[in-house]
């Protein structure tokens, strides 16, 4: 689970990876930002795999959609 302390968040994982947490009020902002980061990092010499997770407190916005 995520733990929030003094405007910082921490979590544990058993996956060897780097994670970026994005705090956006608008869902489209997080998608656009993740896409921009992906486009910039896929250039050589980087090799990365991206998985984007999103969580919304609004039940309507929290629905999974493609």
DSSP-based helix, strand, coil % in the chain, nearest 5: 25, 10, 70
pLDDT of residue 28: 74
Q: What is the pTM of this model?
A: 0.38
How many residues can be counted in the chain?
66
Query: Which tens digits make up the pLDDT trace of 50-64?
Result: 666 666 666 666 565
Q: What are the residues whose beta carbons fall under 8 Å from the beta carbon of 41, sequence distance 6 or more? A: 48
At 52, phi and psi to the nearest 5? -110, 125
At 8, phi and psi to the nearest 5? -120, 150
pLDDT of residue 3: 79
Cα separation, 11 vs 58, whole angstroms = 22
């Amino acid at each position: 689970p995520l733990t929030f302390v003094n405007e910082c968040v921490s979590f544990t994982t058993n996956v060897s990876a780097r994670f970026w947490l994005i705090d956006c009020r608008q869902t489209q902002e997080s998608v656009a930002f993740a896409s921009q980061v992906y486009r910039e990092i896929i250039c050589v010499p980087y090799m990365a795999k991206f998985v984007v997770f999103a969580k919304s407190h609004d039940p309507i916005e929290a629905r999974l959609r493609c």
